[in-house]
């Protein structure tokens, strides 16, 4: 059986900048970490738990964070957009479009932006977004 694996080249990260559906692409992205989903484990152990084993119930779900890494170009439209995102208190809509055209949408707030300008390598930046609510897991091509 042959593999369905693919490289990420061509994946796009974008932000909804005008309603109803105008997304602006973040330029020169080199890596995207899609939402990492988790569920809290609530300790429900009681005095009569069988054989002194802890018991757990499922708690609230968390969409985690999304991290993107990119080539940092000071003064570029992308840099201005991302630096402006940190000032936004309200959640925004973000979209990851994979190479097969499937899409992952999520609402989130930008919680961090760090840039680096090393003496002997390209300048880079990392932007972190906290997912709020339920992310829409990858949908087929739109």
Q: How far is CA 141 from CA 34, 102, 104, in A?
A: 17, 4, 10
Q: Which residues contact 89 (CB under 8 A, 6 or more apart)?
A: 109
* Per-residue model confidence (pLDDT) at position 9: 96
For residue 71, the cross-strand partners are 124
Q: Give the fold, CATH level 3, of 12-139.
A: Factor Xa Inhibitor (4.10.410)
End-to-end CA distance of the chain: 28
Backbone φ, ψ for residue 99 (5° rounding): -65, -25
* Per-residue model confidence (pLDDT) at position 123: 98
Q: Which residues contact 105 (CB under 8 A, 6 or more apart)?
A: 93, 94, 95, 135, 136, 139
pTM of the model: 0.87
Q: Distance (Å, rounded) from C-alpha 78 to C-alpha 66?
A: 17
pLDDT in tens, the chain (142 residues): 899 899 999 999 999 999 988 999 999 999 999 998 999 999 999 999 999 999 999 999 999 999 999 999 999 999 999 999 988 889 999 999 999 999 999 999 999 999 999 999 999 999 999 999 999 877 665 5
* Per-residue model confidence (pLDDT) at position 89: 85
Burial 96-113 (b: 16+ CB within 10 A, else e): bbbeeeebbbbbbbbeeb
Q: What secondary structure does DSSP assign to 50-65, as a single string? A: GGG---EEEEEEE--E
* Per-residue model confidence (pLDDT) at position 137: 72
* Per-residue model confidence (pLDDT) at position 140: 62
Q: Distance (Å, rounded) from C-alpha 5 to C-alpha 16?
A: 29
């Amino acid at each position: 059986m042959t593999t369905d694996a693919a490289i990420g080249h061509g994946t796009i990260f974008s932000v909804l900048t005008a309603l109803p559906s105008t997304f602006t692409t973040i330029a020169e992205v080199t890596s995207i970490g899609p939402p990492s989903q988790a569920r809290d484990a609530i300790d429900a152990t009681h005095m009569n738990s069988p054989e002194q084993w802890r018991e757990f119930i499922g708690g609230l779900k968390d969409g985690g964070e999304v991290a993107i890494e990119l080539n940092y170009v000071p003064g570029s439209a992308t840099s201005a957009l991302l630096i402006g995102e940190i000032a936004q208190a309200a959640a925004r809509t973000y979209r990851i479009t994979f190479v097969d055209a499937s899409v992952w949408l999520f609402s989130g707030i930008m919680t961090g932006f760090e840039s680096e300008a090393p003496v002997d390598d390209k300048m880079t930046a990392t932007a972190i977004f906290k997912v709020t609510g339920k992310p829409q897991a990858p949908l087929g091509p739109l």
